[in-house]
Structure 1
């Protein structure tokens, strides 16, 4: 049981706004992910794994779409999981596990209808991400779907992608300068100042003593090839916005 957080809704809103500074079309990609789950599973009560789920962003939207869904949120970050737990009010299972280790799935039952993740796996290096894709394949049932939405540039449009990225950076910097949203660093400063969450920040620093590893952002073609190599059947892109994409793979 995490700390008692009285303002979980406010922290969720704050997280959403901070993330939307990076991802203006964030809700579009999340809706596309859930559309794919609905189409692939054909059930009103899918078993969903929200992988590297953080504050439970995907889970909250999944439960709005599928009120009878059985959802598990898995992450390592104690701050984000505390916000998720306080927001979800026992409507989802919370699991702490480290995706950098291949044993992360040992506490899970397997047989998921869908595994979903967004803007999270770019902290893993290539070899580990390839292994993770194989492990995700193993926890899905036959016919189950995996969707990963992240920064995945189209390698056939390098110049246009660079210009789209520069445009997005300018727009985000303008919003920061105007005080419209918090930056990543400023959001964590607010967390550190919160009496309930501050002790978890200390624990988080112990888990990430050097911070996250450097971002690794391969093109979408790398992900599709890695998913095929992990044993998935149908593999492709279900959504794209600028330099970001959502890839789907069906077991």
Structure 2
């Protein structure tokens, strides 16, 4: 149930702007993911799993592209799930599940999906768990189904250039913060904590993540491709790259 007086559109917009400060090409990568979904299915109601979906960024764009899509969003964060559920207004199934739990998929409403999509989320998992999760995702896909993971995946062959690109991006982001053009990650969460409607959920979130998320782990795209092959995907490759970020894809 949406908390009383929660202006979900404002919170959704502020989340998108905060994310775009880190990912200026965010919309392009999401569009590319949905182009791939469109390519692998000819049904008007593709079954799409938005994995670690947060506030519903992928789900909302999926429904804009495919209004009849059967969308499931999975996340654990109570703040982000509340915003997602209010934003999606019954057009998607919102599920609370912990991807570190091997039984997380038992909570899903469908046993088979045409596509599983995730963006800027799975770096919170360690390597062993992520490799296992890739096998679990493969088992959820129909034959020919698509998995895409877009995240920070630096190219080890461009170590110097990658560091320079990250320095440039950090400087531009800090300039935007200083000018008040956008909220930083920490400032966004400070606003959540200060909002009467979200503060109780922020406290619940703190109990789930008492020390915060685990340290970010960002291996190169080749690690992901190897893990996808080991998980049994029939085809794997890099669907998109922008600087130090990439989207890897696998077809079952």
TM-score (normalizing by structure 2): 0.98
Long gaps (5+) in structure 2: none
Indicate if the aligned counterparts of 1:155 and 1:220 stay in contact, CA closer than 8 A: no
1:46 and 2:46 are equivalent in the alignment = yes
1:245 and 2:246 are equivalent in the alignment = yes
Q: In structure 1, what is the Cα distance between the partners aligned to 2:119 and 2:216? A: 14
State the match for 1:188 in structure 2: 189
Q: Secondary structure, in 3 states, of the residue corresponding to 1:157?
A: helix
TM-score (normalizing by structure 1): 0.98
Please give the residue correspondences for 1:135-174 in structure 2 after superposition, counting only pairs within 5 Å: 135-174=136-175
State the match for 2:71 in structure 1: 71
The more displaced of 196-205 and 37-46 is 37-46
When residues 161 and 3 of structure 1 are mapped into structure 2, their CA distance, relative to the original with a 3 A threshold, is same
Q: In structure 1, what is the Cα distance between the partners aligned to 2:222 and 2:165? A: 19
State the match for 1:101 in structure 2: 101
Indicate if the aligned counterparts of 2:6 and 2:197 stay in contact, CA closer than 8 A: no
Q: Secondary structure, in 3 states, of the residue corresponding to 2:146?
A: strand
State the match for 1:133 in structure 2: 134
1:75-131 Cα shifts (integer Å, max 9, x gaps): 000000000011111000010000011111012222100000000000101001001
C-alpha displacement of 1:53: 0.2
State the match for 2:228 in structure 1: 227
Q: In structure 2, what is the Cα distance between the partners aligned to 1:73 and 1:43? A: 20
Q: In structure 2, what is the Cα distance between the partners aligned to 1:34 and 1:221? A: 22
Long gaps (5+) in structure 1: none
How large is the Cα RMSD of the aligned pairs? 0.9
Structure 1 segments of 4+ aligned residues over 6 angstroms from their partners:
none
C-alpha displacement of 1:2: 4.3
Indicate if the aligned counterparts of 1:49 and 1:71 stay in contact, CA closer than 8 A: yes
Q: In structure 1, what is the Cα distance between the partners aligned to 2:55 and 2:6? A: 15
